Amino acid sequence: MSAQKPQILAIIGQGYVGLPLAMAAVDAGWSVIGVDNFATKVAQINAGLSPIEDISNAQLKAALSSGAYRATTEISDIAKASVITICVPTPLDEKHEPDLSLLRSAAIGIAPFVANETLVVSESTSYPGTLRDVIIPIINSAKPATSPTLYFASAPERVNPGDPVWNQKNTPRLVGAIDSESQSRALTFYESICDAVVPVSTPEVAEAAKLLENTFRLVNIALVLEFNQICSSAGINVHEVIDAASSKPYGYMPFRPGVGVGGHCIPVDPLYLTWWARKNGDQAKFVESADSISRQMPKYVAQRALGLVDSSIVNPKVLILGVAYKPGISDVRETPVSELRDHLLSLGASVAWHDPLVPTWESSQSVDLDWQCDVVILTIKQPGMNLEQIMASGVQILDCTNTMKGFAGVTPL
């Protein structure tokens, strides 16, 4: 079969997943239509201004000026594509359960325009069965009569924003399709973009593997968050313990404590797993416990920080350094710093924050480092953060990053 030689690829969603995929596909010779329903973002992208750190303006401008890429809000443009990938958010709802409304709306949007023999791939993270039981029925029920034959696969994206080593191209890609022709086309598509493709027998295996990967991270982080608290009350430096354990050449992998988990994946995806287990009459007790431990961590950090303040100060002023969920990026989605700030406020503190990569957050602005405070909490070490200035001020610092070891006035988490 010669299909899926670079032709026209349509990507639904031009965010942290969709835009890097677009650039990788352009590099591989595809003509790419980047569809996004957020008109401001589409205008920004078409003006050559990248909304994410992993894609530079220069790379975006080169793709635009080559004519091989453009962003659009016009969903009907997907009719020209031989491959459509869905890369829209899959968050949690107010009950902390899967919210597939954006995924459903993407499927509803593409259904009337999908051309015959098109391969439709979901890269969005979701519970097993999402492709087969949610996406495919929506598209099949509203596809044009002229498109009797469509191909479907799941290929969950594994990108790690801000990672200097692993990216869309060199991270092996899981591919699981609903039938052998879909699988063959999906493998050929991803082989044109990725260095390594890992076929699995069904979309459900691919979907479940993605949940396992991110749940693995959550439970290991939760373990080390709990272990941090136990070591800290015993007066033992947890990082020295982790370094010591890491000398074992097999059977151990280091995770480091911090304020908690954040971002669109680690706090979210394991709850797709717990929901899916409940739906099937099972219970993911271990994962629920890990989720509970990680969600309590910001409260523990708030208490530790206020414990460093002179008890005569009634309304301590706290400066939080870093509000993004991890260093090197501006992404504040699900940042545990939100909970940290809420706990500090509920304990009577005044709170300000500073983050060189995040100018505004939750209706407030990043303050200068000379903001007068009683204690500083270093949550993440962002590039461009002038920590010398903070240390020179002599203020107490709670270091959640293990990057200020040995400095006067610095207390490790």
Ligand X SMILES: NC(=O)c1ccc[n+]([C@@H]2O[C@H](COP(=O)([O-])OP(=O)(O)OC[C@H]3O[C@@H](n4cnc5c(N)ncnc54)[C@H](O)[C@@H]3O)[C@@H](O)[C@H]2O)c1
Nearest to 89 by CA among 29, 144, 13: 13
Among the residue ranges 156-164, 232-240, 306-314, 364-372, the one whose residues contact ligand X (CB under 6 A): 156-164
- Supply the minimum distance, in Å, between the C-beta of residue 341 and ligand X: 22
Site for ligand X in 52-71 (CB under 6 A): none
- Supply the minimum distance, in Å, between the C-beta of residue 319 and ligand X: 28
- Cβ-contact 404, 410 below 8 angstroms: yes
Contact pattern from residue 205 through residue 244 relative to ligand X, giving x for each residue in contact according to CB under 6 A and a dash for the rest: ----------------------------------------
One DSSP character per residue, 177-240 reads ESSHHHHHHHHHHHHTT-S-EEE-SSHHHHHHHHHHHHHHHHHHHHHHHHHHHHHHHTT--HHH
CA trace torsion 378, 380, 383, 389 (10° rounding): 0
Number of residues assigned to the chain: 413
In terms of CB distance, is 207 or 226 closer to ligand X? 207
Q: Which residues contact 262 (CB under 8 A, 6 or more apart)?
A: 324, 325, 326, 332, 333, 334, 335, 336, 337
Name 198's bridge partners.
174
Burial 299-312 (b: 16+ CB within 10 A, else e): bbbbebbbebbeee
In terms of CB distance, is 93 or 370 closer to ligand X? 93
Contact pattern from residue 12 through residue 41 relative to ligand X, giving x for each residue in contact according to CB under 6 A and a dash for the rest: xxxxxxx----------------xxxx--x
In terms of CB distance, is 273 or 375 closer to ligand X? 273
- Cβ-contact 13, 52 below 8 angstroms: no
142: left (phi over 0), alpha (psi -120 to 50) or beta: alpha
Which of 87, 301, 344, 397 is close enough to bind ligand X by CB under 6 A? 87
- Cβ-contact 44, 79 below 8 angstroms: no
In terms of CB distance, is 10 or 349 closer to ligand X? 10
- Supply the minimum distance, in Å, between the C-beta of residue 152 and ligand X: 17
Site for ligand X in 251-280 (CB under 6 A): 264-265
In terms of CB distance, is 323 or 369 closer to ligand X? 323
Verify binding: residue 106, ligand X, rule CB under 6 A.
yes
Which of 157, 291, 339, 355 is close enough to bind ligand X by CB under 6 A? 157
Inter-axis angle of helices 238-245 and 203-233, nearest 10:
130
Contact pattern from residue 325 through residue 354 relative to ligand X, giving x for each residue in contact according to CB under 6 A and a dash for the rest: ------------------------------
The neighbour count for residue 196, using CB atoms within 10 Å, is 11
Contact pattern from residue 158 through residue 177 relative to ligand X, giving x for each residue in contact according to CB under 6 A and a dash for the rest: xx-x----------------
In terms of CB distance, is 124 or 184 closer to ligand X? 124
Catalytic residues: 265
Site for ligand X in 121-140 (CB under 6 A): 123-125
Name 177's bridge partners.
153
Question: Under rule CB under 6 A, how many of the chain's residues touch ligand X?
Answer: 29
Nearest to 219 by CA among 296, 160, 286: 286
In terms of CB distance, is 12 or 136 closer to ligand X? 12
Which of 62, 92, 102, 367 is close enough to bind ligand X by CB under 6 A? 102
Which residue is it, tokens 């973002």? 41
356: left (phi over 0), alpha (psi -120 to 50) or beta: alpha
- Supply the minimum distance, in Å, between the C-beta of residue 35 and ligand X: 5
- Supply the minimum distance, in Å, between the C-beta of residue 33 and ligand X: 11
Backbone angles phi, psi at 300, to 5 degrees: -60, -45
The whole-angstrom separation of Cα 88 and Cα 99 is 12
Residues that bind ligand X (CB under 6 A): 12-18, 35-38, 41, 87-90, 102, 105-106, 109, 123-125, 157-159, 161, 264-265
